[in-house]
Structure formats: structure tokens, C-alpha cells
Structure 1
């Protein structure tokens, strides 16, 4: 084992490496790093360098927690996220021998009533998006077919943006009506192809002229990137005045299943959720639904 890092900054870098080795997602690593850098900035303001781990105490972390919780400008969810990052990092320090004591042992997560803030689109909003894509097809048929296929993979099959980009032609089985998905954490699943999605894929395959193994490609690349997909949705969002992302369409897919009586376990299987708790939000009223209910019932 390498020598344990001496400074707090070095330990944060080591923690990032550890998370990569644990196959944590890039978004998770980015989030932990940002939150720990916020703590680092606080330490730099509190003490003169060098900022050694051996000089750090649980009192420092407790003081940081108090300051976070007293700041009314910070959302409770942000406070909790920063504290969780601190707790995970503290556990890592113990595991590599940088300290014998878990510095975050006295930290307590802020209690928050669970409410559903997830944003999904209404059927009317999805209709507006598909209408805009039809107009794109009139101007550039191939481009429009690409956009339509991407949207259907997200809203009719519930694929994550990376799953959309990684889909290969060999994964599509139109005879059996299924798509094989290489999902998050390298977990494989099969999802049923809806008729509209299957039709869009077949038409798209007839349009494209690349020999790429990947189902989707742009005019610039034989393998479309997540950034390119996000750029497409950003363009339609601006055009329609509706916030549309690959993930909001995935949320819409799950919500539609829940509203049409599909049981929570089946939704979890179709969406590739590792925990049923992730799926539970789709059977929990959203803030928008509660607002709508209030409008119907208020005096």
C-alpha cells in the first residue's frame, strides 16, 4: 500500500482515485470532489498551512457542520450532500490508516421530510417535442429521424443518456421486439420495444449510411456522444420553452408506467434501478401534482 497522504488536499485526491477504483460514476466523483473542495476552502480560511490530516479533529468537522446548518442560503439537501461527502471521506481516511479515529462520527444529517421534486413531462409537452421534431424532419429528414429515435429510446424505453449512446445495432431484436441494454454499473437488461420505437429504429437504420456498430451516430461521429444528445435537447428546450433533458424523459417513462397501473417491481426492472426505493418516487405525488390537487380543493 502506498504511504497514506499527509495533507487534506492530498487525501481528497487519493479519495477520488479510490472512488474510480470502486467504479463509482463520474457524476458521483464530481459531486464528492466539489463538496470536499468546499470543506477545504473552509479549512484554508480557518487555519494557516500546512493543512495536515494529523492536525484535523472531529471538533473541526463539527464546527463545519454547524456553520453549514446555520447558513439559511444553503438548501437542506445541499447541506446533507456535503455532510455525506465528509462522512465518506472520513471513513476512507480510517481505511487507509491516515487517522485512527473517524472524524465525522458525531456528524448528523439534517432531517428533511421526503417530498417528490422530480420533474417529468406531461403528455402534452412530449407531444410538442415530437411535433417540433416532425418540423425538423421536413427540413432535414435524416437529422429529424435521429432526433426522433433518441427521444423514443428515452421516453418509450426509459434509457439513460449513456445507454442511448452505447446502444448497438446487434442489441436490437426487432423479431422478438426487445432491446438489450448495457446499463449502469455494467448491468445488462432487456426492455420491450414499443411499436413506435421499433418503427423509428427501422426507419433510422434505413436512413443512416455509416458502417458503425453503434445504433446512433451524428454527422460528425460514428458514435454519438452524451454531450451531443444533451445539446439536441437543449436546442428543443429553448425552442419550446420547456425544460427537456434525457433524464426528464426517462422520468416521464417511469411515471407513465406508474400512472397506467404497472407495479413498482416491474418499473424497477424495466428502468434498471438497483433499488426499489429509487422507483418509489414514481408512485409518490410530486410537488406539481400536490399543487394541482390544492387548486382543485382550495376554498
Structure 2
């Protein structure tokens, strides 16, 4: 069966996927094939639906839900390829596992965010302020933040846009509100002009993703809160999805999700939300 995995890897490579993505898929398939080999003496071309369902149950028992569903996606793509190649006679598919527990809020509480913002502004580092405000006002991923170049930014008297290089080599354009525009303009006044094209500058050229979280952690530690760039992205998503005037398609385009269903990760529940909801029916 290793020949099948090798051929599938070649197929993935022809699909313009990143080496990291290919390795992830192949790793998932190799584990599945090893499990399948332990269950039967037959080749993969005899794979049955009930065997896929059995593997789903195995994943439910052995790994976290998010990991299990990622593996299921990998397997579904693999069996689809097997069908398209004529290796499987029937088109098989295994359902992902539903999570019935409410999603917990993974962002920063509004009060914490205000305290953090105050701490950053008091320190007065224009680059840190710009970094924070871009995360807080655009919801970009930390990798996207690090990739921002000067030419990706357009600012006029009353408007501004940011071109973002996102996942899957896709570009999107995000509007810059007044706070984001001002933070960029203030930083550009002091930004060294001989440090390359990246907007945010580290010790050796463009800032690295681990440096972003270290900067945020430094300020968070001063006020005793845990903070990361990813948490700020979740805060943006939470604010947007709880604004009745913002369409879900708009949230999808701002945050750069290829699938509409992924936006659901921001429908988290805070304890405060529950308190308000229950108080409203007293």
C-alpha cells in the first residue's frame, strides 16, 4: 500500500499545495492505511464504508475532536482520489464529528483589551502601537501581519486599504478604519527608511511571528493577562459576528476564511453573555 501513498503524494504535489500541507495529508493517510492493514489482509481497493465508519469511531476515542475532524477531511480527500483513479468502485465518504459543547470565548475580554491598549500607548513605542492596532482593527493572522509590505498599504485623507497575502496564496483587501490608519501614519514618521519593504521592522528586517507574540506578552505580563495575536483575531471575529449590522459574508471576507462554515468559530459564548441572557428573562 506504500505505492498508493507515494502516488497520492505525487498527486498532491501536482495540486500546488504547500510542502507542509502535503506532509500533513500524507501523515494522516499513512496512519489510516496502517490501521486498515491491521484490520484486514485485503488491499485498499476493497475498502468498505463500514470500515471508514469504524476508523471514525477509533478517532473519536483516541484524539481530540479538532484533530479527528482534520484527519477525516484528509481521509475523505484520499478516498475521493481513489475513486477518481478507479481504485475504488464506490464513492465513499465519512462524516465529520459534531461538537455539541458550546464554543468557549478565545479572545480578550473587552476590559482586558482596554487595559492592554492603555499599557501599550503609555510605553510610546510607535511600532508596537501600530502592530497592536492592526491586529485589533483588521483581525489579520500573525503570519499575514508579518508579511505586510509598504506597497500593500494605501491611505488617503479619509480612507485606507490593506492588501493581505493570506492562506492558500490568496490575496484579499481589508479596509483600514481611522484608528488603524493613524497608527500606521504615526509609525511611518519614525520607521527607519533603510530597513527593506516590510512595514513592521524587527532586529533583522521584517518582524517574525514569534516576536509579535513576545511583544504582546511583554505588555500582558505587566497587567497580569494572557495575550497573543491569535486572541486578538478572535476578539475581532467575536465583535463582528455579534454586530447585527455586519453580514456573515463580510466577516468571511475580512478574516480571509475560504469556507463560510469556518466563521462559526467566532460564535463563542462568554460567561458574561450567559448572565446577560438570563437576566433578560427575570
TM class, shorter-chain normalised? 0.7 to 0.9
Q: How does 1:109-128 map to 2 (within 5 A)?
A: 109-113=96-100, 115-128=102-115
Give unmatched runs, 5+ long, in structure 1: 1-5, 138-143
Structure-1 residue corresponding to 2:79: 90
Structure-2 residue corresponding to 1:226: 209
Check 1:147–1:91 CA distance in 2 against 1; reply closer, same or farther (3 A cut): same
Contact 2:147 2:165 in 1 (8 A): no
Superposed CA deviations along residues 164-205 of structure 1, whole A, max 9, x for unmatched, are: 122121222221521231342444433332222222212222
Distance of 1:174 and 1:81 partners within structure 2: 40
Distance of 1:216 and 1:150 partners within structure 2: 7
Distance of 1:298 and 1:238 partners within structure 2: 39
Distance of 2:25 and 2:275 partners within structure 1: 36
Give unmatched runs, 5+ long, in structure 2: none
Check 1:298–1:78 CA distance in 2 against 1; reply closer, same or farther (3 A cut): farther
Distance of 2:141 and 2:45 partners within structure 1: 43
Q: How does 1:67-216 map to 2 (within 5 A)?
A: 67-69=58-60, 71=61, 74-96=63-85, 99-101=87-89, 105=92, 107-113=94-100, 115-134=102-121, 136-137=123-124, 144-176=125-157, 177-184=159-166, 185-209=168-192, 210-216=194-200
Shift of 1:134: 3.7
Contact 1:163 1:181 in 2 (8 A): no
Shift of 1:122: 2.0
Please say if 1:22 is aligned against 2:12: no
Shift of 1:151: 1.5
Distance of 1:192 and 1:260 partners within structure 2: 17
Distance of 2:215 and 2:257 partners within structure 1: 26
Contact 1:62 1:106 in 2 (8 A): no
Check 1:206–1:242 CA distance in 2 against 1; reply closer, same or farther (3 A cut): same
Size of the aligned set, in residue pairs, is: 277
Shift of 1:215: 1.0
Distance of 1:200 and 1:85 partners within structure 2: 42
Alpha-carbon RMSD: 3.8
Superposed CA deviations along residues 205-250 of structure 1, whole A, max 9, x for unmatched, are: 2222234122112012x22233432443455555555442323212
Contact 1:178 1:190 in 2 (8 A): no
Shift of 1:63: 3.6
Check 1:82–1:241 CA distance in 2 against 1; reply closer, same or farther (3 A cut): farther
Superposed CA deviations along residues 22-64 of structure 1, whole A, max 9, x for unmatched, are: 34567755654554354355457x379xx99558633654443
